[in-house]
Amino acid sequence: MDRRKFLWLCFGTGTAFTSVWLWDKFFLENSVENILTDMPADNSNLSNVPFEKLKEAMFYEKLENKRIKCTTCFRKCVVSNGGKGFCRVRVNKDGGYYSAVYSQPSAVHIDPVEKEPQHHFLPGTEILCFGTTGCNFTCQHCHNWHLSQASPGDLQTYDLPPDKVVELAIKKKVPTISFTYNEPTVFYEYVYDIAKLAKSKGVRILWHSNGYMDSTALKALLKYTDAVTIDLKGFTKKAYDNSSAKLEPVLETIKTIKHEGVWLEIVNLVIPTINDEPENIKKMCEWIKENVGVETPLHFSRFFPNYKLTRVAATPISKLEEAYNIARDVGIQYITIGNVPGHEKNSTFCPNCNKRIIHRKHFQVINNGIEEGKCKFCHHKIPGIWS
Amino acid sequence: MPLIIAIIVMGFSGIVAQIIILRELLVTFQGNELSIGMILANGLITEAFGSYFIGKRIEKIRNKTSAFVSFTILFSIFFIATIWLIRIWKHLLGFQFGEGFGLIEIFYTSLIILLPVNIVHGALFTFGCRLFPVYLKSEQRLSIADNNGAKQIGKVYIYETIGTGIGGIIFTYLLVTQFNSVQISLIIGLINSAVCIYLIFPVLRTQKIFQNIFLFGLSVVLTIFFMLAAFSRIGIDLHLQFVRSQWYPQTVTYYQNSIYGNVVVTQNAEQFTFFSDGIPIITVPTPDIVHTEEFAHIPMLFHHNPKDVLIISGGAGGVINEILKYKTVNKIDYAEIDPLLLEAIRKFPTPLTEYEMNNPKVSIEYLDGRLFLKQTSKKYDMIFVGFSEPSNLQVNRLFTKEFFNEVSTKLNEYGILIITLPGSLVYVGNELKNLNKCIYNSLTEIFPSTKIIPGDAITIYLATNDENILLIPTEQIVERLQSLNLNLSLITSDYIEYKLQERWIDWFWNSIADGTKNINQDFKPLAVFYSLAYWNIQFAPHLQKIFTLFEKLDFRFFVAIILVVTLLFMILRLRIKRLNAASIPIVILTSGFAGMIFDLALIFSFQTLYGYVYYWIGLLVTAFMAGSAVGAMIMNKYLNRITKDIVTFVKLEVTIIIFAAIFPFVFFLFHSFIQYEFVSGVLQLVFLVLSFVSGMLVGAQFPLANKICLNRKTKSDSIGKTAGLLYSADLVGGWFGGILGGVVLLPLLGLVETFLILVILKICGLIIIVTSK
């Protein structure tokens, strides 16, 4: 081999390697779509989350002795230096307060929007869902206890900054990003940054919440939010004891969402012996009617034994139907029954002509009879976001 | 004579109380047999505490008979109160209704619940021993005065054991079949208070003091009360009242114990829910439709022509109804793990269940599902296992490699096995990952082809002997669905496409792929351990790290610990001569440990092979206790004739080692033939014999150890100390055996490795004595 050939060979090999490296870097690594089939890989402990991974909280007050008061949710935790909030995902480091789950979701999936439930929001479309660890409630029947009752470091996470999230939604052609598996309030900063960015790129924002976000934080986020589902756990102290929380702040939140003009739906999981008393369901419906109007959709869901509530039997269908009838008699216009696939009232009916306008089977839309926001039979205007 | 009867009754009452409390606690702990180790271990120490600390006080009491009577009365009252306490315990702790228990709760609950009854009962034993001379005639008393009292204790021991033996048998064959727990406790109360009258009456004639009159009066009143209550409505009403407070605020309409466990039916409006050991199994008239349709139809659609179907558990209340929608199906055999459930379903008929149970295509087998599969000569196209979590040994019998092997021989050419496990479409944590992977590994050991269908609450696993049937494209399944016209509430073509998306399957597979490499076996029930870990993080997330640690422990780890500790002790002993005296107590510690492991291994193996240890646990525990008493008695009898103590002790130790070495293989031997009634019957006898012999071997060692230690001592005042030391060593060993053996060793390492560890431990013990000076 002469010198010239040798140089060519070197050059060729070098180019080949460089292009493979470039391909790898810009196409494979950047392929955010893999997120949906890969398992989360990172498993860092809260005590050694590197400082650059922490994100300073947006709402808190500094107190004396490096203590802080968190004003993100109604709990208003006072946290000393080195401590964590009730939600376990916010830490006080030297008198500053930080989110330990920013850009670190543990669950990223595409689900149908009906799963939220959101029945008056782009029916039959998909949502890109996010969840992290932590929650500011401790519901005994939590469906996502794996996430909500865990602490950072317990679970594995993806490394997914807000711009990647929006990019993923656009690439996957999913019209809406949703924050849902655990309480979005506890990863507020992440939600806020994604929402702000998504808004500028035309991607919609939806979240499912227990309604415990403090009103300043809430109002700031609502500016970039298209729809909210509030999980109203009942209308009594007993119902909220089951989640170690209080009812009043949640009602406050529901009113604020309505007042700010963001699309609102309310879901109520009917749990036997905990929140299934007809008189309280009636009080709840009357409150909804008076404060947020009869056009706010209300969903009654069937409970199944889960997490710590394993000995309470499932909700009888007649109890759900009773709740449905109570709400209808109060005047609520859009009521559905969830978690009972095949039930007639799983679908949406027009309050004017009583015809079925959206035929649903569990999370699937079989038939959508809403045209330009109106009932296709009687042209009654149906509130919601349809396009 | 009165005292002998009193002591027999004491033994009788003791075992009955022990078993009743154990069974009631098992229901509270939702049928988790791994808690048995903890319950037995805590039973051991509480009883010992009573006999040791309270029992001591009898010396200072002058009127020993009335003290004995007072404690007997206390025992009767505490026993009933304990049953009530167990049933309201969760409410007392401020647990939400229906909230399950974590490991820590199981530990302290069993400790606290057992405390009152066991302390009093333990004290009674010591009281009995001290009371014995009082009831002997004066000349007899003189003649035994020079004996050191060991004979009296021996006698009390004999009578107590006789009582225990009678108790175990009467409990299993008479009491438990005829009466509920409350009635049984009332009957025990009746017998005890009657004995009290019998004891106190003669004393009353000589000593008319207030104390005796009061005790006599109380005994009479209690006897009358217990008699009236036990055999009238009161017993039943009281029981129902207890049940209601246990299940408050749910309405219980049916409560029954079977040999397999406890069945409860609750009613809420039109809905009935059937619970087995506190776990909801069936809900009618409207089941969980998502579960029922996914579980029934997705697998059925994978088969081109399903004809013969077998359902083991969870068939009634929806699944059978769904399967009957297929015209090709001509036979559905249906068995439950607890046949009493079927009876309960019949008792509370709904149109759905009546249609299912009375359909001519459906044949109901009143037999434990696994046994049915072993015995049947039929082959099936579809075999459904309705349980979705191997959370205890009884259910785990349907998730092991051995079971899968039995299934594979009973499947037709294109036959499919369907099992389910807890799953998630959101996040798969470490515990869930290992649980799923462990069962997946076991399936792939047997079946050449498997398929995972992830779901929100459950993951469905399909397994076949055919390589291709599970590979058919989704479009073909959708076509099948459309052509069948099944009239479903949930499943549509779109739904099938959604469920079978590669995206979900890949994500789930990636989430579990790096889980455990181990498999789940009958005598190495790893899935129960993973299930326990999964269940435990729900209640006590802070214990997650402990379980992760446990998982990493293997056979070599335990052996290394044993060897290092032995070596360390022997080196230290060379330097510090006094440590020689600790040699025997250390061996007794290992014997206490071995005894508990024997006992637990028998209980666990019985459950694995038969599934109804709930019924037999009384006999197994009794045989073990009787064995250890007989062993101690025989040894006591020949104690004076033995000249070379240490040689006999070594011989006994070698016998235990050999026994432990062959012990596990007995079960493997019988396991393959259990479907034959004769073998099954003989094996039950073998269980009793093994229980008895293992008790005997461990029991015989104790008096001999006592003698050896005493001979070595020079000071005469150390008799009590020596006995105390040995007794504590035995207890501590037993306690560790219960906790470690029940929660870690047996489920994690399995029968063979646990016994191998035991053999190594005992060999180390042997070396320690042989080299001791």
Three-state SS for B305-338 is CCCEEEEECCCCCCHHHHHCCCCCCCEEEEECCC
Mean pLDDT within A246-264: 97
C-alpha B765/C-alpha B647 separation (Å) is 14
CA nearest to B505 within chain A: A37
Mean pLDDT within A115-129: 96
How many other β-carbons are positioned within 10 Å of the β-carbon of residue B755?
A: 24
Residues in A closer than 8 angstroms to B425, CB to CB, are 109, 111
Q: State the pLDDT at residue A26.
A: 54
pLDDT digits (tens, 9 = 90+) for B425-476: 999 999 999 999 999 999 999 999 999 999 988 999 999 999 999 999 999 9
pLDDT band at A46 (very low <50, low <70, confident <90, very high): very low
Point out the residue among A151, A307, A314 whose CB comes nearest to the CB of B283: A314
Q: Does A37 touch chain B (CB under 8 A)?
A: yes
- Output the 3-class SS for B8-58: HHHHHHHHHHHHHHHHHHHHHCCCCCHHHHHHHHHHHHHHHHHHHHHHHHH
C-alpha A322/C-alpha A316 separation (Å) is 10
| pLDDT at residue B133 is higher than 80 | no
Point out the residue among B249, B250, B426 whose CB comes nearest to the CB of A147: B426
| pLDDT at residue B337 is higher than 60 | yes
pLDDT band at A29 (very low <50, low <70, confident <90, very high): very low
> What global pTM score does this model have?
0.90
Residues in B closer than 8 angstroms to A343, CB to CB, are 489
Mean pLDDT within A328-355: 96
Point out the residue among B250, B268, B429 whose CB comes nearest to the CB of A316: B268
Bridge partner residues of A348 (DSSP): A358
Interface contact B100-A317, CB threshold 8 A: no
Mean pLDDT within B140-159: 60
Q: State the pLDDT at residue A51.
A: 64
Point out the residue among A106, A306, A308 whose CB comes nearest to the CB of B427: A106
pLDDT band at B643 (very low <50, low <70, confident <90, very high): confident
Interface contact A361-B427, CB threshold 8 A: no
Q: State the pLDDT at residue B51.
A: 84
Residue B122 Cα, gap to closest chain A Cα (Å)? 35
pLDDT band at A366 (very low <50, low <70, confident <90, very high): very high
Higher pLDDT, B192 or B100: B192
Q: Across chain B, what does the average pLDDT equal?
A: 89
pLDDT band at B754 (very low <50, low <70, confident <90, very high): very high
Place of tokens 């496409």: B497
Interface contact A361-B544, CB threshold 8 A: no
| pLDDT at residue B96 is higher than 70 | no
Q: Which of A262-271, B99-108, B219-228, B237-246 has the lowest mean pLDDT?
A: B99-108
Interface predicted TM-score (ipTM) of this complex, two decimals: 0.87
Interface contact B268-A155, CB threshold 8 A: no
Q: State the pLDDT at residue B146.
A: 42
Interface contact B510-A362, CB threshold 8 A: no
Point out the residue among B96, B279, B490 whose CB comes nearest to the CB of A362: B490
pLDDT band at B144 (very low <50, low <70, confident <90, very high): very low
pLDDT digits (tens, 9 = 90+) for A132-157: 999 999 998 999 999 999 888 888 89
Interface contact A109-B30, CB threshold 8 A: no
Q: State the pLDDT at residue B48.
A: 87
Q: State the pLDDT at residue B148.
A: 52
Mean pLDDT within B289-295: 96
Q: Does A366 touch chain B (CB under 8 A)?
A: yes
Interface contact A311-B510, CB threshold 8 A: no
C-alpha B262/C-alpha B337 separation (Å) is 12
Point out the residue among B279, B285, B541 whose CB comes nearest to the CB of A150: B541
pLDDT band at A309 (very low <50, low <70, confident <90, very high): confident
CA nearest to B424 within chain A: A144
pLDDT digits (tens, 9 = 90+) for B702-732: 888 888 887 776 554 456 677 778 888 888 9
Residue B607 Cα, gap to closest chain A Cα (Å)? 24
Mean pLDDT within A68-90: 94
Q: Does A84 touch chain B (CB under 8 A)?
A: no
Q: Does A312 touch chain B (CB under 8 A)?
A: yes
C-alpha B379/C-alpha B415 separation (Å) is 9
What share of chain A has pLDDT > 70, as a percent?
Answer: 92
CB neighbour burial string for B110-136, b if at least 16 within 10 angstroms, e if fewer: bbebbbbbbbbbbbbbbbbbbbbeebe
Helix axes B677-712, B645-671, angle to 10 degrees: 160
pLDDT digits (tens, 9 = 90+) for B627-640: 988 998 898 888 88
